[in-house]
A and B are shown apart, each in its own frame.
Chain A
Amino acid sequence: MKRFLFLSLGLLALLALTIACQPTKMPPPPTPQPTAIAVFEPTSSFAAGAFPPTIPIRQWHDNAWLITDCLGCHGKDTTGEAPKVVHKDLPDLYLNVNCRTCHVPQPPDQ
Chain B
Amino acid sequence: MNDITRRDFIKWSAMAAVATMAGCSAPQQSAPAPQAQPTARPTVEAAKEWHKSVCRFCGTGCGVQLGITDGKLVALRGDPEHPTTKGLVCAKSLFLPKIVYSPDRLTKPQIRKAGKLVDATWEEAMTLVADKFTDAIKTSGPDSVAYYGSGQALAEESYLANRLFKGGIGTNNVDGNPRLCMASAVGGYTTTYGKDEPMGSYDDIDHARTFFLIGSNTAEAHPVIFDRILDRKSKNPNVQIILVDPRKTPVRRVTDVYLDPIPGYDLDIFHAMAYVIIQEKLHDPAFIEKHAIFRKVDADGKNVDVTLDEYFKFLEAFTPEKAAERCGVPATKIRQAARMFAQGPTMSLWCMGLNQRTVGVFANNLIHNLHLITGQFGKPGATPFSLTGQPNACGGVRDTGSLSHLLPYGRVIANADHRAQMEKLWGAPAGKIKPADGLNTIDMFKALGEDKIKAMIIITTNPGQSLPNANKYRDAMGKDRPNKPFVVSVDAYPTRTTELADVVLPAAMWSEKEGVFGMSERRYQLMPKLINAPGEGRSDFDILLDFAKRLEDRGIVEKGYISSKFKTTADIWLEMMEASRNTAYDFTGMSRERMKKERGIRWPVLDETHPGTNRRFVKGDDPLLDKGPFADANLKPGDIKIYTGANNKAIVWLRPSKDPAEPADKDFPFVLSTGRVLEHWHTATMTMKAPELRRAQPEAYCEVHPLDAEKLGIKTGDMIKLTSRRGDVTVRTRVIDTTRPGMVFVPMHWYEDNALINKVTIDAYDPASRQPEFKVCAVKVEKGKA
Contacts and interface: CB of A to CB of B under 8 A. Distances in A.
Interface of A: 2-3, 5-7, 9-11, 13-14, 16-17, 20-21, 23-24, 41, 43-46, 48-54, 58, 62-63, 65-67, 69, 87-94, 96-98, 100-107, 110
Contacts of A58: 695-696
Interface in B583-632: none
B254 to A, nearest CB: 6
Contact of B328 (A10, A45, A48): A10
A43 B32 CA distance: 6
Interface string B505-527: 00000000000000000000000
Contacts of A14: 328, 740-741
A98 B15 CA distance: 12
Contact of A3 (B234, B659, B705, B707): B659
Contact of A89 (B35, B248, B665, B741): B35
B27 A87 contact: no
Interface in B711-763: 734, 736-738, 740-742
A54 B29 contact: no
Contacts of A110: 695
Interface string B688-722: 00001101111000000111100000000000000
B231 interface: yes
B231 A17 contact: no
Given A14-B740, A87-B34, A106 B695 contact: yes
A6 B692 CA distance: 40
A46 B29 contact: yes
A26 to B, nearest CB: 10
Contacts of A6: 262, 663-665, 669, 671, 742
A47 to B, nearest CB: 9
Interface stretch (B219-227, B272-280, B534-542): B219-227
23 contacts: A2-B665, A6-B669, A13-B705, A13-B742, A45-B14, A45-B15, A52-B20, A63-B734, A66-B736, A66-B738, A67-B736, A69-B253, A90-B12, A90-B15, A93-B233, A97-B254, A98-B223, A101-B90, A102-B16, A104-B692, A104-B693, A105-B679, A106-B696
B549 to A, nearest CB: 45
Nearest to A62: B734
B28 A2 contact: no
Interface residues of B, number: 70
Given A10-B328, A10-B740, A89-B11, A101 B227 contact: yes
Nearest to A12: B741
Interface string B1-20: 00000000001101110101
A69 B226 CA distance: 17
A7 B659 CA distance: 12
A17 B741 contact: yes
B221 to A, nearest CB: 12
Given A91-B231, A97-B219, A104 B15 contact: no
Which among A89, A103, A106, A107 has the highest number of chain B CB atoms within 10 Å? A89
A92 to B, nearest CB: 7
B30 A24 contact: no
Contacts of A90: 12, 15, 34
Contact of A94 (B12, B35, B94, B664): B12
A56 to B, nearest CB: 11
Contacts of B705: 13, 17
B235 interface: yes
Contacts of B708: 13
Interface string B88-106: 1011001000000000000
B15 A51 contact: no
A5 B707 contact: no
Contacts of B32: 43-45
B697 to A, nearest CB: 7
Contact of A45 (B30, B665, B707): B30
A46 B28 CA distance: 10
Nearest to A101: B223
Given A9-B742, A52-B91, A104 B679 contact: yes
A4 to B, nearest CB: 9
Contacts of B434: none
B31 interface: yes
B91 A5 contact: no
Given A9-B741, A46-B29, A52-B20, A98 B695 contact: no
Contact of B230 (A54, A69, A93): A93
Contacts of B94: 52, 102
B692 A54 contact: yes
